Structure 1
Amino acid sequence: MRPKATYLSLLFLLCYTIMASQTRVGGVVKDENGQALPFVNVIFNNSSEGTTSGENGKFYLQSENNHTELKISFIGYQTEIIPLPQKSNLSLEIVLQQEASSLDEVKIIRGKTSKKNNPAIDILRKIWKNRRDNGITAFKQYQYKKYEKLEFELDGIDSSVVKNPIFNGMEFIFDYADTNRITGKTILPVFINESVSRVYGDNVENKKREDLLGNKNSGFDQNQNLIAAVKDVYDEYNVYNNYIKVFDKSFVSPLSTTGINNYNYVLSDSAYVENKWCYNIIYYPRRENELTFKGDFWVNDTTWAIKKINLEASRDANINWVKELYIEQEFEVLNDSVFLISKDYFQANFSLTKKETSKGVYAKRTQVFDEYQFNLKQAEGFYDKQAYRFNKEVYQRGQDFWDKNRLEELNRAEEDIYVMLDSLTSVPAFNRIYDIATIAESGYVEFNGWDFGPVYSLFDYNEVEGFRTRLGGRTYFGQHDPWRIEGYLAYGFLDEKFKYGISGKWLLDARSRLIISGGKRRDIVQLGAGLTGNTTDVLGRSLASSGLVSVGDNTKLSHLNLNTVNLEIEPWNNFKVRVGASYRELSSASPDFSLDYYTDKMQSNIASTIKQTEIATTFAYTPGRQTSGFGVEQNVINEDEFPTFFFNYSLGLKDILKSDFDYKKIQFFYNQPLKIGGFGRANVSMEAGKTVGEVPLGLLNVVPGNQTYFSMYNAFPVLNFYEFVTDTYVSAHFDHNFNGRLFARIPLLRELNLRELVGVRAVWGEISEANKALNASEIPFRAPNKTPYYEYSLGIGNILKFLSVEAHFRGNYYNVPESRSFAITASFGFHF
């Protein structure tokens, strides 16, 4: 089994017995003129179970309890009590009459409404004032038990799906169809994962620890990569925060201190909710296409704490692949004052389009919290401890454990998922679909104990090798493998030469993650494509194979003969220390390019091959990084969410294995993703380095240019390869994605859900006269030492939901021969 989106992709490929709830209602709310009424409050009478109508006036509501009446209300309209003669009433058409005193006063409109004399906003201000006195933040330390249930369901199960040939041999799965409790649609449950954890936290030291006590899932037992991939679909959020992060987007919370600029609020009702007098407030967005919700919440009249809240993303919100998004939270009262979250429900409908009839996959998460304890300080080092070995017992808990620790009972349909999935994984047709999904996601074809791939690197092209084919593979016995071997063999049809790379790594100690590794590579590479450590990668795909999408000819390629051995340890969580030794030989791979250097002061002798032995010590710190797996390779769960600090000290050793040069190289790298609330997301990175000693072109720091039409991380798209060469440098990159905040205000562009991209990057560097004197190549040693070289870019993202195009402009140094002043790059990806 493989991690991440393989399993999510599989659920899209798999698409009639309905388990009826006690009470189900659905329909549409209109006014006297037949116009649909959005954001109307719909609740079961004499209860707090309710919802709001959508922007098309439609609603659906179900309850496990028996109800006989439905209450429909909204300010400016007469409240209607609708009898429910049956358990299922799904075609209601409800007409609300306007109150005589409010005929011209209340309208549901986009745009600004008055904030004066609005009791809902007065209540909102009291929520802001008291929010830090509620929840676990009111205590120094806390701990609680958490039960979590993750589920996936196929949406839109109808006769066309049942008869689809893809399900031949799997028809029995449709006997397990059910009804979604939020939308009322017929769905097919296809996956469930349950877990029980004990969570500890310290608000003074800002530390948190979660111990997994038990885990159970259907069909993929003990697959921790799958579990991590499923969990990564969901984000932790706090409705009291100004922004609620869902996937990689920051939605404005209806409880935000800036919420009155994004939402309209209406005080709708007041009632007792579990012996607490509460006000009911309806909220809805002021503008279209923004990352906002609609819904309602109940707030207590003394503590001004939220008792219940639901949040539904607007259908026109600028978010890809998600047709519906719904959040629901409930809170309990502690000591008659502090409100603590007791239940959190999240649901998203993933679909290729947002059309009403489109089919998709529902992802659901239910979290239940109990057994709260506070102000119990833990021993020194408690939060630094972490599991370092795979504990099978956690994934093999018996029924007695689940009967005791489930904080919410499974319904009949959820219990049946275990039976259905266990049967499905033994069906050959299902396994064929799974294999196809695995190849599409990982790029590897699975065999028993080893994988073939990646298949995406089978064919490439460059000016030196012509068309090139590459075959590769890796060992894979399981996600907790203590060792792994990878390799590839390539052949160029123009130069008629074989190339290869092979590496191996072994986990010596799981607690400290002590790993020894080594490898060898003989290949053609593009030097100068990155500032940090770009010539010691044994298996990386080289930019030499990008000739089909290059700007102009690129013959500045090099032969690399590399041997490496490394020892790595992780003494603290996410802090890695690595010591490595390498020996490499570098020479030109093209007659139009040279790495030549002078070997004497008189510049009378020239060498064309660089032979270099090097010892490098690196330190990497990635605070907040989350991983899964306990083997020699771990999968990162929360990519693009944590900062990275990297420091490298390299020592070149002359005469060791006939090495040519003595030098010292120091490099520092810092990368920081940023979520800037409603203004989108950004990424900032900085690099700095210095080489002490006299070295030739192949060992200097070339400012990374980009002569391809594809975006390259931390490269300069308007620079050609080898345009600037340095031995001392400082560079910085800033890229920002506004997530459509500006385009959402332009009517003609609003519906396209495009996203604005801006960027700026700069580099300063210099090159010593001694290093210039070594240069016998045809590359002029030019450095941006007078003023920093800079570029800026403007772009449009989310074109057709997967394409981004950026225009890059040169800021200075226009007089460099053969320089470019403008470049276009594109990138592809599936982003929310």
Structure 2
Amino acid sequence: MNHYQYKKNTTIEIGLNNLDTLFLKQLFKDEYHQAIQEIKYDSDGINYYVPIYLNEQVANVYGDTKNDRVREDIEAEKSEGLNAQGFIFDRMSNTFQNVDVFKNNINLLQKPFISPLSTDGFATYDYLLYDSIVDNNKKLYNIYFFPRREGDFAFEGNVWVADKNFSIKKLKMKVHKSINLNFVRGLTFEKEFEVRNDSIYIPTKNAYEADFTFLDKNESNRGLTIKKNITYTKYILNKPQPEDFYKQTIEKIRPDQYKREASYWDAVQSEENKSTYKLIENVKEKKQIKNLTGLINAVASGYVNTNLGVQIGPLWTSFATNKIEGFRTKLGFRTFRTKDDRFRLSGHVAYGFRDQQLKYGAEAQYLLSYKPRIAVGLAYQNDIEQLGSTLLNTTQLLGRSFGNTALFSRGDNFFLSDVEKIATNFDYQIQQNLHVGVNFSHSKIASASEAYFSMSYIDENGKIQSRVTDFASDIYLTFTPGRFVYGLGVERRFGKNVFPTFIVNYRKGFKGPFNGTHSYDKIQFKYSQPILLSKFGILDASIEAGKTFGTVPVALLSPVPANQTFSLVKNTFALLNYYDFVTDEYLAGHFEHHFNGFILNKIPLLKKLKLRSLVTFRAAYGNISQENRAINDGLSNSEGVYNINYNAPKKMYYEYSVGLENIGYGNLRFLRIDAIWRSDYTPPQGSLVAPTPKFAIRIGIKPDL
């Protein structure tokens, strides 16, 4: 059909499953006998299921296949339950995005599943022609399919295929229990189509259901069920609208934009949904439900809710140790009422028991306009930082480096800087996933302890200076085509889909205004691209490049990001010390391929461990001008003080590794272990820190499906 339109009704429901009568009695107490009449059974028909969130959306869809344009106008939207308070529930409610079984690969939970309709299906599935029937004078074949190997990212189920045109009448599939996917006890998909005139087939219904558990996939454990149902009705075919009509889009910009009166929903809602809303109203304030969902959110986000509209966290950075501060404690917070908060204030207070100094920082963000989307931010900090832990930073106003938040590190970390900073940000959304922004910052930077680490340099008058005052502006452009964005507050939420990222940043430093000590220009570029390679896994690749124009000290240059902790940190080099390489022009690449069990799932016995293999390659190349080297050359080191050698990777430096991930028990498989080697590299003479190793074992901790 050249043109079409239809009405699309979408329902997303989240609930607690596998509940027994004892839990329900504790939950409802005196209301138990009434509630038990309303509560539904699980799909197994044995235990009970209690909904805690429901979202409904009604939309009108218009398509122009000649010009490949689709316009979707939301007509009404309604939600009720605990979702507004929880980041993890946001992620879960968006589990099923763009599930297109007609593509070779289905990107689900950031994993590439092979579609049973794939052109490469015979390498993954076995097929069985089970039956054939005649329905409305059309012959249909029932074909069963199932994975050839347990643990592969594939489905089992059956499909009804129409004769002659091979169109799909009905498809039902699910993942096998043995699949190498954490937290997922079950995934089920149903799709139905209507075949017209032997040449047209249109969707009529999509039904998705996911069952998530926490500790393991034992059938007796309680879990979370996500249900998404889409119905397609009121089709009108080949009734074209004006061509400009299809180019227009109506964007949702406010949380209440599609709120409709109760009479509207009374007319369109099913009786089942009406009873679900009533039940959610009854359970959402129950203490047991709030405690359970609060625990899930705390584990997922690291923040703990309070009754004051403030969250405490993140918990993961509460304790650390380093050479300057000794044992460091940190208490962080952020205001949080819903994911759509227009204003957000966050901050922290930290204390070091060795230097006995109090550090702090705060950041305020406000959404000035929904359309065009304009956000502003203002931040102040007086804290220590590990400068050079990242090459490119655009919207992050406060320093959040890992170097001063780690509990265990290789050698002593002398290289921390004392940073007093005030910064502002202005971010303008040109269109979805395309942003331009401006930052202004004023920073006073010095060594956190001159007794261990010197950042001194020679100024233009030949005098030795130990502090840099940096007054600078940034103009950046970010482009993330295809990124799934949700939430309408000042902090956006991002789905787990696969998308590329392009960032260009121009930074200008000013000498004179606000006591700025240096004038310089810096331009930086970053491109990252996760590449789905079907059953072979996913390649996560990124390339960064940059150049600084002007003569500046180390605090304003581009050190190659090192990592002296024993944990893995993305886009850093684990076998370098901080400031081993300092550049004013650089090119770096990071390539990490995750096989997602493609290799280890085929090895008998070993496949029962559900391990996944990966390989990485990281490289950096750069240079530093004689002018930038000269302002540090000739400075003598005091005894016991480490002074930076301006050493650049003129000969490409690289690291490569092999690793195992998904290590753990049950669903708790957070560990990853990498064995890392490096290229031939001799550290600068006179280094006071531990020599950089030529080989190391490093551990990563990351919850992953």
> Is contact 1:174-1:188 (8 Å) kept?
no
Task: Give the corresponding residue for 1:783.
Answer: 648
Equivalent-residue separation in structure 1 for 2:247 and 2:111 (angstroms): 29
Question: What is the CA-CA distance between 1:438 and the residue it aligns to?
Answer: 4.2
Match of 1:490 among 330, 347, 350: 350
Q: Which residue of 2 aligns with 1:722?
A: 579
Report the equivalent of 1:666: 523
Question: How much does 1:310 deviate?
Answer: 1.3
User: Which residue of structure 1 lines up, in the alignment, with residue 208 of structure 2?
Assistant: 346
| 1:750 aligned counterpart, secondary structure | helix
Note the alpha carbon deviations across 1:692-723, whole angstroms, 9 max, x for none. 11111111100001111222121111111111
Deviations along 1:305-339, whole A, 9 cap, x unmatched?
A: 11112112222221112222221111102344211
* 3-state secondary structure, aligned to 2:609: coil
Question: Could you say if the C-alpha distance between residues 399 and 252 of structure 1 is closer, same or farther in structure 2, counting changes exceeding 3 Å?
Answer: same
Displacement of 1:431? 3.7
Residues 566, 581 of structure 1: 8 Å contact kept? yes
In 1, Cα distance between equivalents of 2:64 and 2:533: 26
> Displacement, 1:384?
6.1
Check whether the contact 1:155–1:185 (CA below 8 A) recurs between aligned residues.
no
Give secondary structure in 2 for the equivalent of 1:370.
Answer: strand
CA shift, 1:153, in A, is 4.2
Report whether the alignment pairs 1:749 with 2:609. Answer: no
Which has more radius of gyration? 1
Shift of 1:374: 5.0
Residue 704 of structure 2 aligns with which residue?
831
Query: Whole-Å Cα distance in 1 between the matches of residues 247 and 48 of structure 2?
Result: 41
Count of residue pairs brought into register by the alignment: 682
Partner of 2:41: 179
Match 1:371 to one of 234, 247, 256: 234
One-letter identity of the residue aligned with 1:473: F
Supply the distance in 2 between the matched residues of 1:203 and 1:735 (Cα, whole angstroms).
38
492-501 or 210-219: bigger deviation: 210-219
Distance 1:361 1:224, change over 3 A: closer
Call closer, same or farther: CA 1:340–1:813 in 2, change over 3 Å: same
Q: Provide structure 2 residue ranges, at least 5 long, that are not aligned to the other structure.
A: 638-642, 686-690
Amino acid at match of 1:186: N
Aligned equivalents of 2:675, 2:681: Cα separation in 1? 18
Q: Residues 793 and 421 from structure 1, CA distance in 2 versus in 1: closer, same or farther, beyond 3 angstroms?
A: same
Q: Identify the match of residue 562 of structure 2 among 694, 705, 714.
A: 705
TM-score (norm 2): 0.90
The change in CA–CA distance for 1:476 and 1:256 in structure 2 (over 3 A counts) is: closer
Partner of 1:390: 254
DSSP-derived class of the 1:564 partner: strand
Are residues 1:813 and 2:681 paired? yes
User: Alpha-carbon deviations, 1:633-691, whole Å to 9, x = none?
Assistant: 2222x145221111111111111122111111000011112222111122111100000
Q: Distance in 1 between matches of 2:443 and 2:282?
A: 54
**Quick one: higher RCO (CA 8 Å, sep 6+), 1 or 2?**
2
Q: Which residue of 1 aligns with 2:398?
A: 539
- Which amino acid in 2 is paired with 1:803? L
> What amino acid maps onto 2:364 in structure 1?
G
- Could you tell me how far 1:168 is from its partner in structure 2? 5.9
Matches within 5 A, 1:522-561: 522-533=382-393, 537-561=396-420
Structure 1 residue runs of 5 or longer lacking an equivalent are 1-138
**C-alpha separation between the residues in 1 aligned to 2:67 and 2:156?**
36
RMSD: 2.7
Choose from 364, 373, 376 the match for 1:513: 373
Aligned mates of 2:217, 2:332 — CA distance in 1: 40
Residue identity opposite 2:467 in structure 1: T
> 2:147: which partner in 1?
285
Q: Percent identity?
A: 34
Q: For residues 271 and 257 of structure 1, what CA distance do their matches in structure 2 show?
A: 25
1:683 aligns with 2:556: no
**Cα contact 1:814–1:821 (8 A) shared by 2:** no
- SS of match in other structure, 2:19: coil
Matches within 5 A, 1:69-84: none
Superposed, 1:401-480 pairs within 5 Å as: 401=265, 403-404=267-268, 409-411=270-272, 414-442=273-301, 443-480=303-340
Note the alpha carbon deviations across 1:26-55, whole angstroms, 9 max, x for none.
xxxxxxxxxxxxxxxxxxxxxxxxxxxxxx
Q: Which residue of 2 aligns with 1:362?
A: 225
Is the Cα contact below 8 Å between 1:225 and 1:628 reproduced in 2?
Answer: no
TM-score by length of 1: 0.77
Amino acid in structure 1 at the alignment position of 2:452? D
Distance 1:736 1:504, change over 3 A: same
Residue 744 of structure 1 aligns to a residue in which SS? helix
Q: CA deviation at 1:230?
A: 4.3
Q: Which residue of 1 aligns with 2:501?
A: 644
Once the 2 structures are TM-superposed, how far is the Cα of residue 503 of structure 1 from its aligned partner? 2.1
Residue type at the aligned position of 2:47:
T
State the 1:444 CA deviation.
3.6
Counterparts of 1:18-57 in structure 2 under 5 Å? none
Kindly report which structure 2 residues correspond to 1:157-176, keeping only aligned pairs within 5 A, or say none.
157-159=19-21, 161-162=23-24, 171=32, 173-176=35-38
**One-letter amino acid of the counterpart of residue 55, structure 2:** N
1:489 partner letter: V
> Which residue of the partner structure matches residue 98 of structure 2?
236
Contact 2:403 2:565 (8 Å CA) reproduced:
no
Change (3 A) 1:370 1:709: same
Instruction: Judge conservation of contact 1:727–1:767 (CA < 8 Å) in 2.
Output: yes
Question: What amino acid is the match of 2:413?
Answer: N
Is 2:590 aligned against 1:733? yes
- The AA in structure 2 aligned to 1:611 is T
Partner of 2:688: none
Contact 2:110 2:496 in 1 (8 A): no
SS at 1:260 equivalent = helix
Q: Distance in 1 between matches of 2:520 and 2:257?
A: 52
Any idea what SS the aligned residue of 1:515 has?
strand
Contact 2:531–2:540 at 8 Å: present in 1 too?
A: yes
Q: Deviations over 1:281-328 (max 9, x none)?
A: 222222222122222211111211111121122222211122222211
In 1, Cα distance between equivalents of 2:381 and 2:84: 36
| SS state at 2:555 partner | helix
Shift, 1:456, TM fit:
3.8
SS at match of 1:739: coil
Query: Which moves more between the two structures, 444-453 or 544-553?
Result: 444-453
Given that 2:88 and 2:297 are in contact with CA atoms closer than 8 Å, whether structure 1 keeps it comes out as no
Asked if 2 retains the 8 angstrom alpha-carbon contact of 1:235 and 1:247, the reply is no
Are residues 1:499 and 2:359 paired? yes
Aligned counterparts of 1:346 and 1:184: Cα–Cα separation in 2: 18
Aligned partner of 1:482: which letter? R
Q: 2:421 aligned with 1:562, yes or no?
A: yes
Q: CA, structure 1 residues 381+370, in 2 after alignment: closer, same or farther (shift >3 Å)? A: closer
Distance 1:430 1:317, change over 3 A: closer
Match of 2:625 among 768, 772, 778: 768
